Chains A and B, each alone.
Chain A
Amino acid sequence: MNPLKPARAHPGAPFTLTFDSREIEALPGQTIAAALWASGVTSWRTTRDGGRARGVFCGIGVCFDCLVTVDGRPNLRACLVPAAPGTDVRTQEGTGHDD
């Protein structure tokens, strides 16, 4: 159940970032989307009209479903932004410009 195993990955030291104020462990080189997925988080945005939960969809920067607020900046694509120690990741509500 751990893809690190078949690839015989020996990652660098894990670090933590926060997602909605709770600590999440990430591995060097992972994007924010990958780090959230690895922690079992699959949604980190609510839509502007319906307030529906969304997470990653296309995985390669085309679809904009994985928008997230990173260090106070909304509308970043979690599948493109690398995770870094201490990054403050927050669920993006609507346009992300309301809070």
Chain B
Amino acid sequence: MTEHRPVLAVIGAGPAGLAAALAAGSRGVRVVLIDSAAEARGQFYRQPAPGLGARRPQALHHQRRTWERLRAGLDTHLAADRVTHLSDRHVWCVERDSTRFTVHALVGPEQERSVAVRADGVLLATGGYEKVLPFPGWTLPGVVAAGGAQALLKGGLVLPGRTAVVAGTGPLLLPVATGLSAAGARVAALVESTAPGAFVRHTRLWSTAPAKLTEGVVHATRLLRDKVSVLTRHTVSEAHGTERLESVTVAALDAEGRPVPGTERRIACDILAVGHGMLPHTDLADGLGCRLDGPRVYADDEQRTDVPGVWAAGETTGIGGAALSLAEGHIAGRSAAARLAGGVPDPREWAPAARARTRSRSFFAALESAYATRPVRWTEQVTDETVVCRCEEVTAGAVREAVGTLGAGDLRTVKLLTRAGMGWCQGRMCEPGVAGVAGCELLPARRMLARPVPLGVLAASAEHTATPGQ
């Protein structure tokens, strides 16, 4: 029945992966959508678990209508057997032989067994993850990544406390603060280390992104209404507590990015949601030999990487939000459908998506330039006792010693001398922090495997390479 249709493995079921699966599925390609969550939706469209029976999930979510359209499209494709959705599959490696690909994925939350999927093409829609820079007290329970607080709130409808401070830098802090507030937490402060003026002055760009403008106004209005104190050019310099978070110290920053003496004050809170921007997931692309441009996967106008048969879309090709991910996913899915069928796509067919892509990219380039340089002097607030690598409990003092006394000049040497980045998360959490404290350039890490894999799985995988099926 379906033997002659080319198979496209789409890895990731967030905005980019869903848009790509729908576009390719509509154009004659058999799509296998592989995702680590129980439900297709990614982080942006993360929904309350079905068992929670949420009748008004939009109270804590954005762009519900777009999600409903995607969900309906996916259901149609699933029913017609054009798309297969493999949930709870954690892809750890994609192998390429002369003509085809084998996608290896660990199964379920236990992740002790691996399955393999064969495909003619691969579309990487692996998204991004949060960057969190270290500061004294950031390992205390109650301190969470801003997106993590949002994920538990959106998916599990839970709050870890009553009074929250949202801190760091970047556009994600706004929806996190409004989400916590809408869920019933008292948001004592939104602490942003940059100054909004830097971005608001880009009025020309605002005119290119009216939807984003509306979103910003909605968030700002909500914060005003909920009487959230918004502190710009401020930073959380320390989180306090013994067994868990009890308060934070907030200070104003001067033009150089240093805390202004005398401005420090304590704010009592039991949740600190903190984030300093996002980083693209590039492990699978790197393993396939795809070219990276700085921290992101290179993709051409069709969203093709430089490896034949591999497309990339969404935040893996650069952080740019859900609208950009949808546009890129749509283009990638159409390109893959045409190319895998042996044809050449006509870009005129996706002109509206291409225009949306251009608009979103210039908007986010401006956002990035406004936020990227903050907080500028954060390493000066990281005391020697501060743990910078959470898994291996490596302190900033140890990293400084590796650089200062032992002469390490790059991240790899710092890692070998201190074990920073050698633990469970393989540096995903600590890399920007360690690089900053060490004064080394932050380059995308080269990880052979995109996830920790049990040795038994690796041994079994060698015995049964390319087992078809799921």
A residues neighboring B (CB under 8 Å): 1-12, 27-31, 33-35, 37-38, 42-43, 47-50, 52-65, 67, 73, 76-77, 79-82
Kindly state the separation between the CA atoms of A48 and B51 in the bound complex, as whole angstroms: 36
B148 touches which one: A30, A53, A57, A80 (CB < 8 A)?
Answer: A57
Given known contacts A28-B51, A63-B425, A6 and B243 CB-to-CB distance under 8 angstroms: no
Q: Write the chain B residue with the least CB distance to A38.
A: B158
Given known contacts A9-B48, A27-B52, A29-B48, A59 and B145 CB-to-CB distance under 8 angstroms: yes
**Interface contact B393-A47, CB-CB below 8 Å:** yes
How large, as a class, is the contact surface on chain B?
35 or more
Measured CB to CB, the closest approach of chain B to A31, in angstroms, equals 6
Q: Write the chain A residue with the least CB distance to B43.
A: A60
**Interface contact B148-A7, CB-CB below 8 Å:** no
Name, among B49, B129, B185, the residue most crowded by chain A CB atoms within 10 Å (CB to CB): B49
Given known contacts A7-B54, A61-B36, A1 and B159 CB-to-CB distance under 8 angstroms: yes
Q: Mark B105-129, 1 if CB is under 8 A from A, else 0.
A: 0000110000000000000000001
Residues of A within 8 A of B159 (CB): 1, 3, 37
Kindly state the separation between the CA atoms of A37 and B148 in the bound complex, as whole angstroms: 13
Given known contacts A12-B53, A42-B244, A50-B393, A63 and B428 CB-to-CB distance under 8 angstroms: yes
Given known contacts A3-B157, A42-B244, A8 and B145 CB-to-CB distance under 8 angstroms: no
- A–B complex contacts, Cβ < 8 Å, 13 sampled: A2-B184, A7-B55, A7-B157, A9-B52, A30-B156, A31-B156, A34-B155, A37-B159, A47-B393, A57-B390, A60-B43, A62-B428, A63-B145
A60 touches which one: B54, B148, B162 (CB < 8 A)?
Answer: B148
Kindly state the separation between the CA atoms of A38 and B159 in the bound complex, as whole angstroms: 7
**Interface contact A60-B157, CB-CB below 8 Å:** no
Residues of B within 8 A of A56 (CB): 144, 148, 152, 160
Contacts A56-B148, A76-B110 known; list 5 others, CB within 8 Å.
A7-B48, A7-B55, A27-B51, A29-B48, A82-B109
* Top-7 shortest CB links A-B: A29-B49, A59-B148, A28-B51, A34-B156, A29-B51, A64-B424, A3-B183
Q: Is B153 an interface residue (CB 8 A)?
A: yes
Residues of B within 8 A of A53 (CB): 140-141, 243-244
Given known contacts A3-B184, A47-B393, A57-B390, A34 and B152 CB-to-CB distance under 8 angstroms: yes
Residues 148-194 of B at the A interface (beta carbon under 8 Å): 148-153, 155-162, 182-185
Residues of B within 8 A of A34 (CB): 152, 155-158
Q: Write the chain B residue with the least CB distance to A47.
A: B393
Residues 276-295 of B at the A interface (beta carbon under 8 Å): none
Q: Is B464 an interface residue (CB 8 A)?
A: no
**Interface contact B145-A1, CB-CB below 8 Å:** no
Residues of A within 8 A of B456 (CB): none
Residues of A within 8 A of B160 (CB): 37, 42, 55-56
Residues 401-441 of B at the A interface (beta carbon under 8 Å): 423-425, 428-429
Q: Is B59 an interface residue (CB 8 A)?
A: yes
Interface majority SS (helix, strand, loop, mixed), chain A: loop
Measured CB to CB, the closest approach of chain B to A13, in angstroms, equals 9
Residues of A within 8 A of B424 (CB): 64, 67
Q: Is B130 an interface residue (CB 8 A)?
A: yes
Kindly state the separation between the CA atoms of A57 and B274 in the bound complex, as whole angstroms: 10
**Interface contact A59-B55, CB-CB below 8 Å:** no
Kindly state the separation between the CA atoms of A38 and B49 in the bound complex, as whole angstroms: 15
**Interface contact A76-B148, CB-CB below 8 Å:** no
**Interface contact B156-A57, CB-CB below 8 Å:** no
Kindly state the separation between the CA atoms of A10 and B424 in the bound complex, as whole angstroms: 37
Residues of B within 8 A of A27 (CB): 51-52, 157
Given known contacts A28-B52, A54-B141, A57-B390, A6 and B59 CB-to-CB distance under 8 angstroms: yes
Name, among B142, B153, B155, the residue most crowded by chain A CB atoms within 10 Å (CB to CB): B155
Given known contacts A3-B158, A54-B141, A81-B109, A9 and B148 CB-to-CB distance under 8 angstroms: no
**Interface contact A59-B152, CB-CB below 8 Å:** yes
Q: Is B204 an interface residue (CB 8 A)?
A: no
Kindly state the separation between the CA atoms of A10 and B391 in the bound complex, as whole angstroms: 38
Residues of B within 8 A of A2 (CB): 184
Kindly state the separation between the CA atoms of A11 and B51 in the bound complex, as whole angstroms: 6
Q: Is B249 an interface residue (CB 8 A)?
A: no
Given known contacts A3-B157, A60-B43, A79 and B52 CB-to-CB distance under 8 angstroms: no
Q: Is B56 an interface residue (CB 8 A)?
A: yes
